[in-house]
Structure 1
Amino acid sequence: MKNHQLKDRNVSGINKNIIATLAYFDVFNYPLTAGEIFLFLGDKCDNEAFNATLSHLLITDSVYKFDGFYTLKNDPNIAIRRQEGNSKAAELIKIAEKVGHILIRFPYVRGIAISGSLSKNFADDESDIDLFIITAKNRLWIARTLLHMLKKLTFLVNKEHFFCMNYFIDEDGLEIVEKNIYTATEIVTLIPLEGDITFEKFYSVNAWTTTYLPNNYMRVATARPLRNTGLKRLIELAFNNKLGNAIDNMLRNITASRWLKKTLQKRVNMKGIVMGMSATKHFAKPDPVNFQHKLIRRYESRVNELLHDTESTLAHV
């Protein structure tokens, strides 16, 4: 009897974990395979209990399955959307690999990874290539400015918005400050392209993600080894001094001032989100208040609503 009660409590916990996992990706209208659900569970569990619980949720119509994908929405179109998005993502990832191979040649760039929806293997007609970039210590703003100068030139071929370098950190600020389900998911789903050793260090200092996603793993092996060209080494040597420090600080101040002006004017990006940047010596990233915090509140509200409905349903089974 005692073992049976323990098992029931465990299944109840898995119920909540499965619902919470699907709810998170439901925010993005993205259904998951059974293997993906397991990877993104908030707690560890054995496969037998997981499979039994998932089957029970299907029987009670708490979860739906279409073409091998699980979702909280009783809509087969969501599976079709994912399949089409996966196909488009495969094409964009190939392009991202070529872009990364070019950008890694720029001074002070130490690592490049695919982030955003593309790192979850999804793209649609409006998707661009989001890139997560790691730079050398104390040279983030020189690297960022040079990369954005290249991006500005892409308007000549109508590709200015094709790829987006929206998150920079340097080797002295590898640990992600915000620790929550959103940042944990973004970290473990990164697809490293360049800088294998750099990303080994990055993942090491961000091992806290296992608190939120204990079953997940990080794809270090996908990154190419860092190879510096003679020109890259020469430029870095020229600015590894006080002048380089002064230029990096100046570029940070100029960029932060421009972005603050955009935020105060409530200018929005192509996705309709108010433009804002959180900027220090060691990172340049979207202001978490403008998107991240709102998404987490929306997710938590949705989870609470779903768990209440699911518990009521299971209680009457």
Structure 2
Amino acid sequence: MQNRLNPLTHKNLSEIKESILATLAYFDMFNYPLTRAEVYLFLRNKFNYELFGDAIKCLVDNGIIYQFDKFYTLSKDHYIVVRRLEGNQKAAELMRIAEKVGSLLIKFPYVRGIAISGSLSKNFADAGSDVDLFIITEKNRLWIARTIMHCFKKLTFLVNKEHLFCMNYYIDMQQLEIPEKNIYTAIEIGTLIPLQGDIVFEKFYAANTWTRKFLPNKNMRISSAMPAKNNFLKMMFEGIFSFYPGNVLDNILMKITTNRWLKKTGLKRLNDHGNVLSLLTDKHFAKPNPKNFQGNLLSKYEYKVSDLLLKHESDLLH
């Protein structure tokens, strides 16, 4: 019997198709195919799961998207599925190392929470992958914590392990909300894998409930974080630099680091990915300048989605 859909269902089906294409378009920029569950998880709107299943099947049947085994993609190239499977296996190996790194770094003064970010948090790694880390520090002590941690990282260069300590995004407990509210930051927050500091990450996710606007089906992963434990040396150091001495030192270190990075940016030094080195600094955060990689990626994504929807406009209405 022919399945007769009322006009409202037709409208909903069209919206679901657009949302599916927008989701696949985002991950297509990273050559990363998704399972059906992952597509649904990263949809930008909430939809009935049965209608979602009809919509994704329709897109495959019409040759708008492609299905290889359990994976869906905009690309007709089966190799990206092979690439993903190999990347997932490599990520599982690197994840075990990242957990040890997190257990070590949480012992540093004023560090309150550590999470895996970047490609590893999306369960992908290759031979050149880094362990990217998202760090939450005590309020007004970010720069002391960051300076000590980066002095330690200098030592890792001696044993060629610096790629395991890419501490590139810091915030403190006074400013947990991420100000850039877009699909990129929502996905980055939604895919974080907290390693240490379960209570701190509960507060972090509570401060960033705006991500539900972009990812209404995505639940945050607090359960993966271990409770942060203090040790004697950490407590002793923090006691020495409490109150006024710590405030002065933190401000001095912020100014030194800010000036050093401004020089790097002025000289247009490039990182390993070919982007100009640029760090945004403030009393409560230290992070890569979003105008660089993030801004370029969002522009590329918006163009890709609009081009995709325009190309398949007539198909989406059926």
* TM bucket, shorter chain: over 0.9
Cα separation, 2, equivalents of 1:129 and 1:314: 40
Check if 1:192 corresponds to 2:194: yes
TM-score, normalised to structure 2, is: 0.97
Secondary structure of the corresponding residue to residue 136 of structure 2: strand
The aligned residue for residue 106 of structure 1 is 108
Check if 1:159 corresponds to 2:176: no
The aligned residue for residue 242 of structure 1 is 244
| Contact 2:101 2:164 (8 Å CA) reproduced | no
Cα separation, 1, equivalents of 2:51 and 2:251: 54
Given candidates 216, 225, 228, the residue that maps to 1:226 is 228
Cα separation, 2, equivalents of 1:14 and 1:236: 52
Cα separation, 1, equivalents of 2:61 and 2:256: 58
| Contact 1:60 1:314 (8 Å CA) reproduced | no
What displacement does 1:249 show?
A: 0.4
The aligned residue for residue 308 of structure 1 is 310
Cα separation, 2, equivalents of 1:256 and 1:33: 42
What displacement does 1:313 show?
A: 3.6
Secondary structure of the corresponding residue to residue 6 of structure 2: helix
The aligned residue for residue 266 of structure 2 is 264
Secondary structure of the corresponding residue to residue 279 of structure 1: strand
Provide, for residues 98-128 of structure 1, a one-character-per-residue CA deviation record: whole Å limited to 9, x for no partner: 0000000000000000000000000011111
Stretches of structure 2 that go unaligned for 5 or more consecutive residues are none
| Contact 1:174 1:205 (8 Å CA) reproduced | yes
Cα separation, 2, equivalents of 1:19 and 1:103: 40
| Contact 2:129 2:163 (8 Å CA) reproduced | no
**Could you tell me which amino acid in structure 2 is paired with residue 110 of structure 1?**
R
TM-score, normalised to structure 1, is: 0.98
Provide, for residues 52-80 of structure 1, a one-character-per-residue CA deviation record: whole Å limited to 9, x for no partner: 00000000111101121100000100100
Provide, for residues 207-263 of structure 1, a one-character-per-residue CA deviation record: whole Å limited to 9, x for no partner: 000000000010000000010001111100100121110110010001011111111
Secondary structure of the corresponding residue to residue 126 of structure 2: coil
Given candidates 115, 118, 128, the residue that maps to 1:116 is 118
Secondary structure of the corresponding residue to residue 14 of structure 2: helix
**Could you tell me which amino acid in structure 2 is paired with residue 145 of structure 1?**
T
* Residue correspondence of structure 1 range 78-117 to structure 2 within 5 A: 78-117=80-119
**Could you tell me which amino acid in structure 2 is paired with residue 32 of structure 1?**
L
Cα separation, 1, equivalents of 2:205 and 2:281: 22
Provide, for residues 70-103 of structure 1, a one-character-per-residue CA deviation record: whole Å limited to 9, x for no partner: 0000010010000000000001110000000000
Cα separation, 1, equivalents of 2:42 and 2:103: 30
Cα separation, 1, equivalents of 2:77 and 2:31: 11
Given candidates 53, 63, 66, the residue that maps to 1:64 is 66
Provide, for residues 104-153 of structure 1, a one-character-per-residue CA deviation record: whole Å limited to 9, x for no partner: 00000000000000000000111110000000000000000000011100
The aligned residue for residue 15 of structure 1 is 17
Check if 1:45 corresponds to 2:47: yes
The aligned residue for residue 295 of structure 1 is 297
Secondary structure of the corresponding residue to residue 161 of structure 1: helix
| Contact 2:130 2:163 (8 Å CA) reproduced | yes
What displacement does 1:159 show?
A: 1.4
Q: CA RMSD in A?
A: 1.1
Q: For structure 1, which segment, 259-268 or 107-116, has the greater mean C-alpha deviation from structure 2 after superposition?
A: 259-268
The aligned residue for residue 75 of structure 1 is 77
Secondary structure of the corresponding residue to residue 173 of structure 1: coil
**Could you tell me which amino acid in structure 2 is paired with residue 5 of structure 1?**
P
What displacement does 1:314 show?
A: 4.4
Structure 1 moving runs of 4+ over 4 Å: none
Cα separation, 1, equivalents of 2:282 and 2:74: 40
